[in-house]
């Protein structure tokens, strides 16, 4: 039931946002030998670059399918990573286990933000740091999640929008006033809006799940969104989406 993210071809989607994983790892201040946890690691977009810095890295995710792929990709990259199945809201680690706790567009999807933030702080050492990348509500991916979200029924009680993690006030509220923020963008360059919409429709687990629930309207609305997001006027697709990169002392 947790494997919505593991259906389709998330790795192909993740390849298009790989620069954000590298940027996050760069800003997290990871040094050789550090213990690092990547929360909601997916196929290892940030986990594998962190391990390439000779850190001792653990990647946690609740999708068995994505963890299986991550394990293969880590082996291909010849890095050692502990891949662990678990929930971001209930991290299966002792208090103060890690020097860095990071997440790349991952922990933002756990419904209870306070609980997730408290868990990330709990497993981080007192002198450690927490760093993550999250889509902003005003950026294009924020708009995409809102547009698709409006098609379905209202979210269940207690569900908090993932996009709140892309707002500075919310992050300060959860992690304190010492958080440093940067804004970056991911850029997409694709052969055409139609080809890209078809690719996402077949590859992106949340879209596949939404289509199963709501029907073809999901693909129609998504294609409209892609056309509207497009900055190119030569038949190709080019768009950029903003994300917030936050880094905080555990405190």
Interface residue list for ligand SAM (CB under 6 A): 5, 14, 21, 40-42, 45-46, 61-63, 66, 87-89, 104-106, 109-110
| Residue closer to ligand SAM (CB basis): 88 or 123 | 88
| Residue closer to ligand SAM (CB basis): 104 or 218 | 104
| Residue closer to ligand SAM (CB basis): 178 or 183 | 183
Q: Report, in Å, the least distance between residue 234 CB and ligand SAM.
A: 29
* Calpha distance 190→185 (Å, rounded): 16
Q: Report, in Å, the least distance between residue 114 CB and ligand SAM.
A: 14
Name residues whose C-beta falls within 8 Å of residue 62's C-beta, 6 or more positions apart in sequence.
2, 40, 85, 86, 87, 88
* Calpha distance 74→96 (Å, rounded): 25
| Residue closer to ligand SAM (CB basis): 7 or 194 | 7
Q: Report, in Å, the least distance between residue 214 CB and ligand SAM.
A: 20
Q: Report, in Å, the least distance between residue 4 CB and ligand SAM.
A: 8
Q: Report, in Å, the least distance between residue 113 CB and ligand SAM.
A: 11
Q: Report, in Å, the least distance between residue 127 CB and ligand SAM.
A: 25
Note whether 185 and 23 are within 8 A (CB): no
Q: Report, in Å, the least distance between residue 233 CB and ligand SAM.
A: 29
DSSP three-state, residue 4: coil
| Residue closer to ligand SAM (CB basis): 31 or 85 | 85
Q: Residue 50 corresponds to which tokens in the numbers above?
A: 């962190």
| Residue closer to ligand SAM (CB basis): 5 or 239 | 5
Tell me which residue has its CB nearest to ligand SAM.
42
* Calpha distance 171→162 (Å, rounded): 12
| Residue closer to ligand SAM (CB basis): 44 or 128 | 44
Q: Which residue pairs, CB below 8 angstroms and at least 24 apart, start in 53-61?
A: 53/25, 55/30, 55/31, 55/100, 56/80, 57/81, 57/82, 58/82, 58/83, 58/84, 58/93, 58/98, 59/83, 59/84, 60/84, 60/85, 60/86, 60/88, 60/91, 60/92, 61/5, 61/85, 61/86, 61/106
* Calpha distance 201→8 (Å, rounded): 9
């Amino acid at each position: 039931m947790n494997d919505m993210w593991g259906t389709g071809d998330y790795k192909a989607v993740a390849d298009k946002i790989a620069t954000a994983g590298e940027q996050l790892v760069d800003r997290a201040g990871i040094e050789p030998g550090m213990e690092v946890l990547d929360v909601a690691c997916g196929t290892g977009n940030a986990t594998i670059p962190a391990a390439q810095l000779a850190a001792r890295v653990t990647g946690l995710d609740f999708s068995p399918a994505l963890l299986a792929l991550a394990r293969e990709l880590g082996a291909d990259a010849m890095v050692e990573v502990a891949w662990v199945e678990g929930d971001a809201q209930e991290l299966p680690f002792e208090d103060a286990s890690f020097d860095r706790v990071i997440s790349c567009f991952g922990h933002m999807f756990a419904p209870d933000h306070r609980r997730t933030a408290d868990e990330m702080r709990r497993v981080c050492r007192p002198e450690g740091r927490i760093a993550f990348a999250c889509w902003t509500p005003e950026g294009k991916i924020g708009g995409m999640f809102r547009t698709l979200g409006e098609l379905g029924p209202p979210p269940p009680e207690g569900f908090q929008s993932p996009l709140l993690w892309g707002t500075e006030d919310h992050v300060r509220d959860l992690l304190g006033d010492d958080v440093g923020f940067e804004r970056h963008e991911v850029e997409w360059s694709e052969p055409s809006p139609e080809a890209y919409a078809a690719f996402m429709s077949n590859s992106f687990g949340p879209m596949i799940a939404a289509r199963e629930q709501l029907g073809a309207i999901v693909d129609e609305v998504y294609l409209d969104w892609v056309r509207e997001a497009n900055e190119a006027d030569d038949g190709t697709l080019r768009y950029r989406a903003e994300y917030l990169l936050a880094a905080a002392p555990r405190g």
